[in-house]
Amino acid sequence: MSAAPLNQPLAALPDAAGPTDVPLHVGLIMDGNRRWAKARGLPRALGHKAGVDAVRRTVQASADAGIGWLTLFAFSSENWQRSADEVRDLTGLLRIYLRREVGALAKNGVRLRVIGDRERFGPETASAIAAAEAATRDNSRLNLTVALSYGARAEIAQAAKAVAAEVAAGRLDLSAIDEAALGRHLSTVGMPDPDLIIRTSGEQRLSNFLLWQAAYAEFVFLDVLWPDFDATHLDQALGEYRRRVRRFGAGSG
């Protein structure tokens, strides 16, 4: 499948596309850690730890499958409403992942980016994120984006504020505001829109993930809890994607 230019406005998308091969960009909503732990009589923290193992498998499987961009929804802006103990467990696992995995990511050609409000995790974690991004910035085999303290509505609102500020400062004419103008201020600027979004755990909703970017994505919902997700499940989702005909609004006839 040929790749569309980065940040291509929706109006410029092709009218239709036949069955596709490998999606350029896959978004993944990782859901089910807590249910996985509860079903086994384990503490929540062990469910999240098992989820980190699934991330490791999925990054490798995505690179092996030839996926160029993988975006993982790891921690939503709404997740801060969870108990203090669970938030502490999650942020602790994040720091451990950054410390232990960055070497493997760099060695395997994976570039790491983080979108979302990283500063909310505190200066130590924000510094670790910046260091991991710097250590992997020259890699190109797989672009791994992790959404942390991320919410799509807040992202769009922030982009709208930035566009309004440009208009107020006289740097942008009101008549020049279009999808591309707003897209330049999204956290995903420079990234292709997702072709496929996968959600685990059997739930069928986006939960405030990449709402703008997912306008023409294909969706696959899998009845597997995230800690059990592996290359077989990824292949299942990719197989379903290959059977789709992407029309980009051109109709179903």
Q: Which residues are annotated as a binding site for Mg(2+)?
A: 31, 218
Instruction: Quote the DSSP letter at residue 117.
Output: -
Strand-by-strand arrangement of the 142-150 sheet: 110-115, 142-150, 69-76, 25-29, 196-199, 218-221
Mean pLDDT of 53-71: 97
What is the pLDDT, as a whole number, of residue 247?
77
- 3-class SS of residue 194: coil
**Mean pLDDT, rounded, of the chain:** 90
Mean pLDDT of 238-244: 95
Which region, left, alpha or beta, applies to residue 164 given φ > 0 means left and ψ of -120 to 50 means alpha?
A: alpha
Residues 188 and 158 sit within 8 Å (Cβ to Cβ)? no
Query: Beta partners for 198?
Result: 28, 220
pLDDT at 12 over 50: no
Q: Which residues are annotated as a binding site for substrate?
A: 32-36, 44, 48, 76-78, 80, 82, 199, 205-207
Structure tokens at 165: 């500020």
When mean pLDDT is compared across 61-65, 141-145, 200-204, 243-247, the lowest value belongs to: 243-247
The CATH homologous superfamily to which domain 29-242 belongs is: Decaprenyl diphosphate synthase-like (3.40.1180.10)
- 3-class SS of residue 84: helix
Structure tokens at 146: 């992790």
Domain residues of the chain, as ranges? 29-242
The sign of the CA dihedral 139, 140, 146, 152 is positive
Q: From CA 190, how far away is CA 188, in angstroms rounded? A: 6
Structure tokens at 134: 């710097």
Residues 152 and 212 sit within 8 Å (Cβ to Cβ)? yes
Q: Which residues are annotated as a binding site?
A: 31-36, 44, 48, 76-78, 80, 82, 199, 205-207, 218
Active site residues: 31, 79
